[in-house]
């Protein structure tokens, strides 16, 4: 392993999202969000999206891990790990409970004042996502979510409100979390969490996705412009889920299919970084007869509102192959077109574990965008065992992070890729976005809570807590600290 250090200003930290940790879903004036009408599911099932709150179901995000009340103790633990930054999001429906309110909710704004102050007290830089799967539910029921152009204005008003309020507390922003997830338009979960959209009978989901995606990149571009006016020092980024799609073989058709898959997955960031639509997509949308609502003014906004950096999550890589009756566009449908990559293992949830894919991803994004990159999510969901003496020996998590950080270092130190920081998912255990499970754990800090919401909510430091603390302490030079049953540090704490 290389022992070279990373730049001194490298932002080590960890990430969460408001709806996955805060709880307090109806406290201090907060309105319902899309996350509040999603049930809990098993490991391989999809969460149900109910019409409003149905008393027959359990909604794990309602209480989540109670970060809303316990954040001072939690931030203290993050400071103990040595965090330089902490990525979280602002729950849109705490600020505008319905989304279309005239005035913001002062109690919601105050909460984030306190939270950011608490971070700054420990010199932890907040990194804030504006929209992380938590659109006000009222915007879904009244406007149909981002299928409606009006939602652009609601979003930009929300952005302006929080940019102004936290002008001197937050420098790093991200507009839409994993905006490109919805390329998997046949999956109800992604369109609903990202855009508040449910497909109606007879609708073409691909067209709906392209229209909503367009409104979102426009909303993002307008927000970037507003933010830069409010504080020219703001660094405002886009955020995509980076899963490189490899060709299954060296067959030219597979190569073309993988190329199209990458174009389709990353058109969102192409627009957010370049300020214009890629040519293939203009032709593709035209050929499909989508007839989207894209105005000249929109195109001007896109050109004027390009982002300062690109944030991305990295969990896994994908692979694809052309089908025997492939169309001439190599049209990509993520639900149908992925194949198994026999060279990489899978997690218990079927996610491909591919550390080298992170180096590949960093180089690919660097070659394509020539912008600073920020790894704002990376981690493994796993079942953790709490021992009788309140220890969690999560060697598998240490191994996953070690292997990925090593590849990040190779990309930075050998390949010259500029990476601003690294915020693994997740700082503390969270409610899983896709399954609603607590038992799909990601954190450095264990939360004593079960899938049904029972538990003491006590916090315990996992072995990975001490390991990551040492990684930060050595600025990434030493990834090999042994922590575990025989280690003194984890015994005495």
Residue with nearest beta carbon to ligand BG6: 434
Residue number with CB closer to ligand BG6 (177 or 269): 177
**DSSP for 239-263, written as a single string:** EEE---EEESSS-HHHHHHHHHHHH
Residue number with CB closer to ligand BG6 (160 or 186): 186
Residue number with CB closer to ligand BG6 (175 or 432): 432
| Binding residues vs ligand BG6 (CB under 6 A) | 17, 20, 177-178, 241, 313, 377, 381, 425, 432-434, 440
Residue number with CB closer to ligand BG6 (191 or 294): 191
Residue 37 beta carbon to ligand BG6: minimum distance, rounded to whole angstroms: 16
Q: Which one of 22, 134, 377, 406 is the catalytic residue?
A: 377
Residue 114 beta carbon to ligand BG6: minimum distance, rounded to whole angstroms: 23
DSSP code at position 414: I
Per the annotation, the verdict on 406 as an active-site residue is no
Residue 241 beta carbon to ligand BG6: minimum distance, rounded to whole angstroms: 6
Residue number with CB closer to ligand BG6 (262 or 376): 376
Residue 433 beta carbon to ligand BG6: minimum distance, rounded to whole angstroms: 4
N- to C-terminal Cα separation, the chain? 29
Radius of gyration of the chain (CA): 21
Per the annotation, the verdict on 377 as an active-site residue is yes
Quick one: which of 408, 424, 403, 406 has its CA closest to 373? 408
Residue 272 and residue 221 in contact, taking contact as beta carbons nearer than 8 Å = yes
Whether omega before 479 lies within 30 degrees of 0, making that bond cis, reads no
Residue 422 and residue 408 in contact, taking contact as beta carbons nearer than 8 Å = yes
Q: Which one of 134, 178, 216, 301 is the catalytic residue?
A: 178
Residue 142 and residue 96 in contact, taking contact as beta carbons nearer than 8 Å = no
Taking each helix axis from N to C end, the angle separating 355-369 and 267-274, rounded to the nearest 10 degrees, works out to 40
Residue 129 beta carbon to ligand BG6: minimum distance, rounded to whole angstroms: 9
Q: At CA 452, angle to CA 446 and CA 453, rounded to 5?
A: 55
Strands 125-131 and 235-241: unpaired
Catalytically active residues are 178, 377
């Amino acid at each position: 392993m290389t022992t070279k250090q990373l730049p001194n200003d490298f932002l080590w930290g960890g990430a969460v999202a408001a709806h996955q940790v805060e709880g307090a879903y109806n406290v201090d004036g907060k309105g319902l969000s899309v996350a509040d009408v999603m049930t809990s599911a098993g490991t391989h099932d999809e969460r149900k999206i109910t019409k409003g709150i149905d008393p027959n179901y359990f909604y794990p995000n309602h209480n989540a891990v109670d970060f809303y009340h316990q954040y001072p103790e939690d931030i203290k633990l993050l400071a103990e790990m040595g965090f330089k930054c902490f990525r979280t999001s602002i729950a849109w429906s705490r600020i505008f409970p319905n989304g279309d309110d005239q005035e913001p909710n002062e109690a919601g704004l105050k909460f984030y004042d306190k939270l950011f102050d608490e971070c700054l007290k420990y010199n932890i830089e907040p990194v804030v996502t504006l929209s992380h799967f938590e659109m006000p539910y009222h915007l879904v029921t009244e406007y149909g979510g981002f299928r409606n152009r009006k939602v652009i204005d609601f979003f930009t008003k929300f952005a302006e409100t929080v940019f102004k309020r936290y002008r001197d507390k937050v420098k790093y922003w991200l507009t839409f979390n994993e905006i490109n997830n919805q390329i998997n338009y046949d999956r109800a979960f992604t369109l609903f969490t990202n855009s508040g959209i449910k497909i109606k009978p007879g609708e073409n989901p691909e067209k709906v996705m392209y229209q909503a995606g367009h409104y979102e990149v426009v909303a993002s571009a307008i927000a970037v412009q507003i933010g830069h006016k409010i504080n020219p020092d703001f660094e405002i980024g886009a955020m995509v889920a980076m899963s490189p799609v490899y060709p299954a073989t060296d067959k030219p058709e597979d190569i073309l299919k993988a190329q199209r898959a990458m174009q389709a997955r990353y058109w969102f960031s192409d627009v957010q970084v370049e300020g214009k639509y890629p040519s293939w997509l203009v032709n593709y949308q035209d050929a499909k007869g989508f007839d989207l609502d894209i105005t000249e003014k929109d195109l001007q906004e896109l050109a004027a509102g390009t982002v300062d950096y690109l944030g991305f999550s990295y969990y896994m890589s994908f692979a694809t192959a052309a089908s025997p009756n492939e169309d001439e566009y190599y049209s990509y449908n993520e639900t149908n077109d992925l194949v198994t990559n026999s060279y990489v293992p899978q997690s218990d949830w079927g996610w491909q574990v591919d550390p080298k894919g992170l180096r590949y991803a960093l180089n690919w994004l660097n070659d394509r965008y020539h912008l600073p990159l920020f790894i704002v999510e990376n981690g493994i969901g796993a079942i953790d065992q709490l021992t009788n003496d309140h220890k969690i020996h999560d060697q598998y998590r240490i191994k996953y992070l070690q292997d990925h950080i090593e590849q990040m270092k190779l990309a930075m130190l050998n390949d010259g890729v500029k990476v601003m920081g690294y915020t693994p998912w997740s700082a503390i255990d969270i409610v899983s976005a896709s399954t609603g499970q607590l038992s799909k754990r990601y954190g450095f800090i264990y939360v004593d809570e079960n899938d049904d919401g029972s538990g003491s909510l006590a916090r315990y430091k996992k072995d990975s807590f001490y390991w990551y603390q040492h990684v930060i302490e050595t600025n990434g030079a030493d990834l090999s600290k042994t922590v575990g049953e025989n280690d003194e540090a984890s015994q005495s704490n």
